[in-house]
Amino acid sequence: MKSISNLFVSSPHGKVGLTTNQVMRMVCYACIPGIAAQTFIFGWGVVVQALLCILIALASEALVLSLREKPVRRTLSDGSAILTGLLIALSIPPLAPWWISVIGVSFAIIIVKQLYGGLGFNLFNPAMAGYVVLLISFPVAMTNWLPVQQVMTYDISFLDCVSSIFTGFTLDGYSVNQLRIAVDGITMATPLDHFKTQIDLGLTASEIIKSPIYGEYGGTGWEWVNLGYLVGGLLLLKQGIIRWHIPLAVIASLFTLSLISYSITPDLSLTPMITLFSGATMFAAFFIATDPISASTTVRGRLIYGAIIGMLIFMIREWGGYPDGVAFAVLLANLTVPLIDYYTRPTVYGHKAKG
Amino acid sequence: MTNTTTSEDIVADDHNANEDVSSEVTEKKPNPFTLVDWSTIAKEGLWKNNPALVQLLGLCPLLAVTNTFINALGLGIATMLVLIVSNLTISLVKDWVTKEIRIPVFIMIIASFVTIVELLMNAYTYGLYLSLGIFIPLIVTNCAIIGRAEAFASKNPPINAAFDGFMMGLGFMFILLILGGVREILGQGTLFYGAHLLFGEWANDIELQIFQFDQQFLLAILPPGAFIGMGFIIAGKNYLDNKQLDNQKNKKANKVERARVTTVN
């Protein structure tokens, strides 16, 4: 009966939009496939780190809000601080010491987000700005990624992870550097890092890719993480939380550029597939670049914005000093957003388009 | 007709009144070119018109060399010396320099004093000379110095100009020191690191290790740390100014209230 009565209600039909809280919660849920993959590959550290970062994010947001005399509980419950904390936790190495999370998350929330005026006013993506602060401040600790669990010498439990994050050693007394030594006794770098150093040593791409840290489509393990975020991202698309323009533009421009590079110099470049399925490509395309506050707001602008991010990721990976460049790419693209928005304003119906 | 005459009368009266007031003021206040208004100049240089905080001049050396306290102190002293003597010289020669060529003349004067300071530092504080590097010769291009030459020294008598240079230099050095100290403590956990470069061997003892890091906090040492620190210092100054303004307003409000109470009684 109810559905029938709804049919006869005359227009206008109001449609209730999603609240900030619902959007943020959906994005957090969509991270779950990626988090699951990351936990399966890199161990419980990911989960511990996520809990720690969310806690710090909430605490620092509450601190600033009370200093600014704003409503604390209402703002905290919009979930944006939780999401920022979660995104940083997923970007940093799982066994990074606790003070790294504290510095990164509190910088992101206090300086990048709240000092600019809080949610909706920040110029830069808070999570990525916090990550960049960590990356340029502590380059060594921030590149200490564990090898994938399948090739690790030691098994580490949940408690080992907690102990390692807070004291620097597992319960058995192994340091993170000892854990990083893989089965064959060689310290394992991430696939992108490994590729960069080996190319500098004069090896060709086909020789490097034979190493066990490369899988079928991407880095071993990393391909599953990227697949997890791809699934989560498609879920977000289906729910209408994000729109297709930015992720497609990021992936398309990164794919095109690496395809060109691969066809010109196959010995010096990763295949386009490995490029897409290693590092933080999918995470960036669906979860970072689509941040509604710091991204472009027009349809054409979003395509340009995404393409710039893809291009910068490619350039930093290819010629830059860092193995992956997602955070820098997103921050640089954030800077271009006012200009892009200015030049891509849609024409109002009835007005003539310029030029 | 009557209207216009009255208004003219009023105007004339006003004019007379104004003249009276101005003559009184000039009688009370002797010619500003003979009296040195020490406290105003000091306040302007140290706080109200601080070259680093308010004019935002000379940011390049300010941001580049404040990675340690001693570097900041070295550059602060060098800049202050140049400011004092260049202000003094420019004020002395201001009557012989025509308007058209004043900028090149100012630059020449500043450049020669910077060269003197550079040679002195090369001779007596060689380590600091090396660690400051290109930023000593670049004092020539420090806008704070040419700015003071143009805005103050070329319009005021020598003693005032020299004192203004001293106060502006002090204000600039004050900010350099705060920024240098904070960045050094956050970045590498030390204070007065490298003091022997400026003061000689005995100063090795005043180097403090405030806390020990496994890894340096590079952000504070790199230029972004300087920008962020500078932002916080400016915010702090604005906060203090606003607070003072509020206090004054409150005082005024209180006074009015008291007046009303007494009339009621």
Q: State the ipTM, two decimals.
A: 0.76
Say whether both A104 and A176 belong to one domain.
yes
A102 to chain B, minimum CA–CA distance in Å?
Answer: 13
Q: Angle at the Cα of B104 (from B102 to B108), degrees rounded to 5?
A: 115
The Cα-based distances of A39 to A93, A110, A146, A194, A224 in angstroms read: 12, 28, 12, 22, 11
- Contact (CB<8Å) B228/A111: yes
**A274: exposed, middle or buried (Cβ count in 10 Å: 0-12, 13-18, 19+):** buried
Task: For residue A308, give the H/E element and its range.
Answer: helix A299-319
> How many Cα neighbours within 13 Å face the side chain of A262?
16
- Among B186, B188, B214, which would you mutate to test the A interface (most chain A Cβ atoms within 10 Å of its Cβ)? B214
Name residues 109-168 of chain B within 8 A of A (Cβ): none
In a domain, A11, yes or no: no
The whole model's pTM is what? 0.81
| Ranges of residues in chain B whose predicted pLDDT is under 50 | 1-31, 34, 265
Q: How many domains does chain A have?
A: 2
Q: Are B36 and B163 in contact (CB under 8 A)?
A: yes
Q: Which residue has the tokens 């530092």?
A: B121
Task: In whole angstroms, give the CA distance from residue A329 to residue A324.
Answer: 10
Sign, CA dihedral A329-A202-A273-A152, equals negative
**Closest CA relative to residue A97, chosen from A172, A170, A11:** A170
A138 touching chain B per CB within 8 A: yes
Among the partner-chain residues A136, A140, A141, the one whose CB lies closest to the CB of B219 is: A136
In a domain, A127, yes or no: yes
Tens place of pLDDT for every residue, chain A, 355 residues?
Answer: 445 555 566 777 777 778 888 888 889 999 999 999 988 888 888 899 999 999 999 999 999 999 888 888 888 888 889 999 999 999 998 888 888 999 999 999 999 999 988 888 888 999 999 999 998 888 888 877 776 666 565 667 777 778 878 877 777 777 776 776 655 555 566 778 778 878 888 778 777 777 777 776 667 778 888 899 999 999 999 988 888 999 999 999 999 999 999 999 888 888 888 888 888 889 999 999 998 888 998 999 999 999 999 999 999 988 888 888 899 999 999 999 999 999 988 888 888 765 5
B98 touching chain A per CB within 8 A: no
Determine the 3-state secondary structure of A355 from DSSP: coil
Q: Which residue has the tokens 């007394």?
A: A173
Report domain extents, chain B: 57-221
The pLDDT of residue A103 is 92
Q: Where are the alpha helices (DSSP H) in A138-190?
A: 139-142, 158-167, 176-179
B223 touching chain A per CB within 8 A: no
Q: How far is CA A19 from the centre of its chain?
A: 23
Say whether both A32 and A105 belong to one domain.
yes
Please report the number of interchain residue pairs, chain A to chain B, with beta-carbon separation below 8 angstroms. Answer: 18
Task: In whole angstroms, give the CA distance from residue A235 to residue A228.
Answer: 11
Q: Angle at the Cα of A66 (from A65 to A67), degrees rounded to 5?
A: 90
Say whether both A63 and A172 belong to one domain.
yes
Phi, psi of B147 (to 5 degrees): -65, -45
- Contact (CB<8Å) B218/A140: no
Say whether both A155 and A204 belong to one domain.
no
Chain A residue with minimum CA distance to B215: A138
Residues of chain B contacting A111 with CB distance shorter than 8 Å: 228
- Contact (CB<8Å) A137/B218: yes
Say whether both A183 and A196 belong to one domain.
no
- Contact (CB<8Å) B215/A141: yes
**Closest CA relative to residue A180, chosen from A98, A100, A93, A99:** A93
Q: How far is CA A148 from the centre of its chain?
A: 19
Say whether both A142 and A274 belong to one domain.
no
Task: In whole angstroms, give the CA distance from residue B25 to residue B203.
Answer: 53
- Contact (CB<8Å) A138/B222: no
Sign, CA dihedral A26-A300-A84-A279, equals positive
Q: Are B17 and B25 in contact (CB under 8 A)?
A: no
B218 touching chain A per CB within 8 A: yes
Provide the Cα torsion A184, A185, A191, A195; round to 10°.
Answer: -100
Amino acid at A317: R
A137 to chain B, minimum CA–CA distance in Å?
Answer: 4
B222 to chain A, minimum CA–CA distance in Å?
Answer: 9
Say whether both A72 and A215 belong to one domain.
no
In a domain, A4, yes or no: no
In a domain, A353, yes or no: no
Q: Which residue has the tokens 């669906």?
A: A286
Residues of chain B contacting A141 with CB distance shorter than 8 Å: 215
The Cα-based distances of A154 to A36, A174, A177 in angstroms read: 21, 9, 12
The pLDDT of residue A124 is 92
**Closest CA relative to residue A306, chosen from A233, A225, A240:** A233
In a domain, A350, yes or no: no
Q: Which residue has the tokens 């203090």?
A: B240
Domain that holds residue A175: 19-188
The pLDDT of residue A253 is 95
Say whether both A288 and A157 belong to one domain.
no
- Contact (CB<8Å) A138/B218: yes
In a domain, A36, yes or no: yes
A327 touching chain B per CB within 8 A: no
Residues of chain A contacting B222 with CB distance shorter than 8 Å: 136
